[in-house]
Structure 1
Amino acid sequence: MSKLFKQSLLYAIGEIIPKLVSFFLLPVYTHYLSKTDYGIISYTNSFVMFLFVLCVLSLNTYVLRFYFEKEDETYRKRLLGNFYIIITGINLLLSLLAYLLMPIIIEKYNIQVPWNPYFKLAVVSNFLEVFSVIPLVLYRVKQQAKWFTFLSLSRTLLQMLLIFLLIVVFKWGILGHFYGRLFSLIPFFFVYWAIILRNATLNFNFAELKKGLVFATPLLPGALAYLALSLSDRIILERFVPLSQIGIYSLAYTLALTLNIVIQGFYKAVEPEIFQQYGKVGFNTFIKKTQSTFFLIVYMGAMFITLFSQEVFKIMASKEFYEGYLLVPILMIGVIMTGQNVIFGGIIIAEKKTKVEGIATITGAIISLVFNLSLMKYGGVYIAAISSAVSFAVMNTILYNKMSYTEKSLKAPLLALFLFIVISFGLFYIVNISFSLFALLIKFLLLLLYFILLLKVFKIPMRDLLTIIRRK
């Protein structure tokens, strides 16, 4: 377990810095850009994430899953090189289509965000971003977390520096965000190619492509549905509320998603371990111990971020964004569900039930779309936040019911979630405690109480937790 936690920590750092770009830049965005500007950034980011998934077609999951099928190093190098070429071709085709069709779509549907320059710059940046997929998979399958972290960290620091300089020093305004991201990706485009040329054998194997598509195709609708589930709120919001409201909502979502940094870091480390341990004698014990400790971290992280979101908004954001902290407790429920999905989804894929993963995510996406389209006009950003929580909960319920894992149980996670809702919702919506030193003391005491309760809920002795920390 100590190796897994060390890997998780390194992957988390590799995930933390990229995901924290928006968080670290909050004072810049909220003091130098308007709520509308931040809404434009969020809206274009939502579109680009869909385009990114289409360009990759979930083929990176096939590479990750089947890299361990053979011990032959020649096979592994050809596998990596083959899918690097395939994804490059798909990326080029779809980027050109987006470049040609998006101006027409934006004009036809009167989308508030113009194609030039915002969407155009976002499409070009996405084209360069896709080249990072296979190099990062390479470091994961080789369990070289240090190199994964270094690659992610160096590019992100460059991006942060460029965005800061362009917005604050050179006064480029919102364009500083788009050009800062683009300029940071250009040198790493060549770095990614260098990594592949050194560690893979470039080739095109049509038979392997067919196998990859058969495996990954059921995952693609799920991946797209997952994005629809995660991002449809902001896309639909554009139809019902001003971009300024999307800006406030997106800021709250950014804060809630800081927990996703830990979740994704753990996912990067544990997914290969699940695949390797699956079918072995100690698999059930491995999952049980890993799940309990991970869920403890997820729920504690959720409570910490939620309780102190008011202080974060007060310190880091300008006054016009302040009301967004009230959305954090609701949004955090959906983020907690994504944490559970790491374990449930990993087991489902190890069992090769990729269709189940797709069905669960599509179901969640449909619920999200219906919920948002039918109710958003009545509740705006609050309906969007509730929709996220409900949809992710339904998705996880489906995954849980379809798992063959014999020792599965939802009793502890549900109790932990109930306690989270009682404490956070009670403090934010019933007591409505104000920003003060007394409030900080109350929140620290509630956080400590929740930690003690979680140890009981997940049946983790304090001595075991201290042992894990020392090993890490």
Structure 2
Amino acid sequence: MAAIKDSFIYLSGEIISKSVPFLLLPYLSRKLGVEGYGELSYYQTFLSLFVIFIGLSQDGAVARYFYVYGKRSLNLVVNTGYAYALCMGSLILIICWVVKSEIIAYIVLTAIFQVFLSVQLSIRQCQKQAISYTIIQLSSSFIAAVMTVAMLEIYQTQLVEKRFLALLFANSIVVTSAYILYNRKNKGRIYSIRSYKTAFLYFMAFGLPMLLHHGSMFIKGQLDRIFIYHQFSQVELGLYAMGVQISAILSVAILAINKALVPYLFEKLKEGVIKLKDLHTYTLYSLIAVPIPSLVALVIPETVFTWILGGEFIGVKYYVILFLFSTSLTIPYLFLVNYLFYHGKTKQISFCSVLSTGIYLAVLSGLIFTEISYIPWASIIGALGILLVLIFITRRV
């Protein structure tokens, strides 16, 4: 019953918080236009890239520390990770200052606070504080939406830059409040330099192998937009990126359920109630559900999409259908990768990701010089490739 209750809270919070940006889509699509939306999507790839190097999987390191070692010295790991993020972010900001790139500097600051926010959410998830988790999530989403509308209504130029400023403002407020509340409950203990060194080594041992994993995910999820930005027009990129964004609605629901169930899955694995053969069975059954979202989008008329987004977005339905299919492949993927996360097999996860990324890049490099309508198939083939590799790898754990 507790798992069902928490799942409902997580799912409700995730859907509401993520629905706010989606509700903003008609506003952003009309305010920025298809070309401006393509530019926004291009710079969002930099945000994702900075989060990888600045964060170094801090949320995952905190979660694993909690499940394996408990919460006694959790604050030590949290503060060590925050210190690393500030140092790494400062180095990138210096580069931004040298090259005089103001918008990239805003993106770097946004990435730092996004990393801090993900850690605070991870702490609440580990401690099964579903309500606190949801409040933090909703606050960040609503403040970002309000600030976005305010920025875009006040200013008439450099609107993409103003969108990132709104995200920065929202994340900084929520993270500061969440950290104060967290630190109030965990302050009082003083750690030695040796303890911080140990925490840093743990943090690096977990995070560095995950660079390959998250780097591979970045390549498969973001790199195509950089190529499209330079190979095709911003209008074509805008349609492509909007298809990705709409299909992300499904991703939100999948990841919300996953976040709610992971603590209970780990407990069942620890108790031996669920075994690897059960996860393989769940993986096979989940393949039946993969094409369903795409079939639903197929029967929706194109006019519905243009009515919501604006007349400039004719043709976005095609991309929505394909990206819904590739997103649905996340379901069987999560069954397998969570098993590896439980056993701390970050090297195996990274190996799988790198191998599937190689498949994706091979397909993408062939399609990028054809037509933009063929490029989504690279994501589908890459997703299918990692499933086959994960099935093989999990059998060896």
TM-score higher than 0.5 here?
Answer: yes
Matches within 5 A, 1:136-285: 136-168=121-153, 171=156, 173-201=159-187, 203=191, 205-284=196-275
Match of residue 135 from structure 1: 120
8 Å Cα contact 1:368-1:387 kept in structure 2 = yes
What are the superposed Cα offsets for residues 42-93 of structure 1, whole Å, 9 maximum, x if unpaired?
111111111112112123212212312345xxxx1422x2222222222222
CA distance in 2, matches of 1:253, 1:20: 15
CA distance in 2, matches of 1:347, 1:177: 37
CA distance in 1, matches of 2:303, 2:186: 48
Letter in 2 for 1:154: S
- TM, length-normalised to structure 2: 0.88
8 Å Cα contact 1:274-1:350 kept in structure 2 = no
Match of residue 98 from structure 1: 92
Of 356-365 and 7-16, deviating more is 7-16
The correspondence for 2:104, drawn from 119, 133, 136, is 119
The correspondence for 2:73, drawn from 78, 84, 109, is 78
CA distance in 2, matches of 1:288, 1:6: 26
The structural deviation recorded for 1:401 is 1.8
Letter in 2 for 1:155: S
Match of residue 14 from structure 2: 15
Match of residue 66 from structure 1: 65
8 Å Cα contact 2:297-2:321 kept in structure 1 = no
8 Å Cα contact 2:290-2:329 kept in structure 1 = no
8 Å Cα contact 2:147-2:170 kept in structure 1 = yes
Of 135-144 and 397-406, deviating more is 397-406
8 Å Cα contact 2:80-2:196 kept in structure 1 = no
Letter in 1 for 2:311: K
The structural deviation recorded for 1:262 is 0.9
The structural deviation recorded for 1:175 is 4.0
Of 60-69 and 15-24, deviating more is 15-24
Matches within 5 A, 1:435-454: none
What are the superposed Cα offsets for residues 130-172 of structure 1, whole Å, 9 maximum, x if unpaired?
2212211111011111111111012211111221232246656
The structural deviation recorded for 1:393 is 1.1
CA distance in 2, matches of 1:136, 1:305: 32
Mapped pair 1:358 → 2:321: no
8 Å Cα contact 2:322-2:376 kept in structure 1 = yes
Question: Cα–Cα, structure 1 residues 30 and 374, in superposed 2: closer, same or farther, change >3 Å?
Answer: same
Q: Structure 1: 5+ residue runs without aligned partners?
A: 108-114, 407-472
What are the superposed Cα offsets for residues 262-284 of structure 1, whole Å, 9 maximum, x if unpaired?
11101211222222111424213
CA distance in 2, matches of 1:70, 1:55: 24
The correspondence for 1:320, drawn from 312, 322, 325, is 312
Match of residue 39 from structure 1: 38
Counterpart secondary structure, 2:213:
helix
CA distance in 2, matches of 1:52, 1:6: 31
What are the superposed Cα offsets for residues 301-323 of structure 1, whole Å, 9 maximum, x if unpaired?
45434543735412211111121
The structural deviation recorded for 1:233 is 0.9
Match of residue 5 from structure 1: 4
The correspondence for 2:82, drawn from 88, 93, 97, is 88
Of 240-249 and 290-299, deviating more is 290-299
The structural deviation recorded for 1:38 is 0.8
Counterpart secondary structure, 1:143:
coil
CA distance in 2, matches of 1:302, 1:3: 33
Match of residue 360 from structure 2: 368
Letter in 2 for 1:235: I
The structural deviation recorded for 1:251 is 0.4
CA distance in 2, matches of 1:83, 1:325: 45
Match of residue 444 from structure 1: none
Question: Cα–Cα, structure 1 residues 102 and 27, in superposed 2: closer, same or farther, change >3 Å?
Answer: same
8 Å Cα contact 1:77-1:199 kept in structure 2 = no
Counterpart secondary structure, 2:344:
coil
Letter in 2 for 1:187: I
CA distance in 2, matches of 1:155, 1:294: 32
The structural deviation recorded for 1:18 is 3.9
CA distance in 1, matches of 2:301, 2:46: 27
Mapped pair 1:340 → 2:325: no
| Pairwise CA RMSD | 2.8
Counterpart secondary structure, 1:88:
helix
What are the superposed Cα offsets for residues 393-419 of structure 1, whole Å, 9 maximum, x if unpaired?
11121112222399xxxxxxxxxxxxx
Of 155-164 and 119-128, deviating more is 119-128
For the pair shown, the structure with the greater C-alpha radius of gyration is 1
CA distance in 1, matches of 2:201, 2:84: 14
Question: Cα–Cα, structure 1 residues 286 and 102, in superposed 2: closer, same or farther, change >3 Å?
Answer: same
Counterpart secondary structure, 2:315:
helix
* Count of residue correspondences: 390
Letter in 2 for 1:25: L
8 Å Cα contact 2:239-2:313 kept in structure 1 = yes
The structural deviation recorded for 1:335 is 0.5
Question: Cα–Cα, structure 1 residues 159 and 296, in superposed 2: closer, same or farther, change >3 Å?
Answer: farther
Counterpart secondary structure, 1:282:
coil
CA distance in 2, matches of 1:55, 1:45: 15
- TM, length-normalised to structure 1: 0.75
Match of residue 51 from structure 1: 50
8 Å Cα contact 1:232-1:368 kept in structure 2 = no
The structural deviation recorded for 1:333 is 2.2
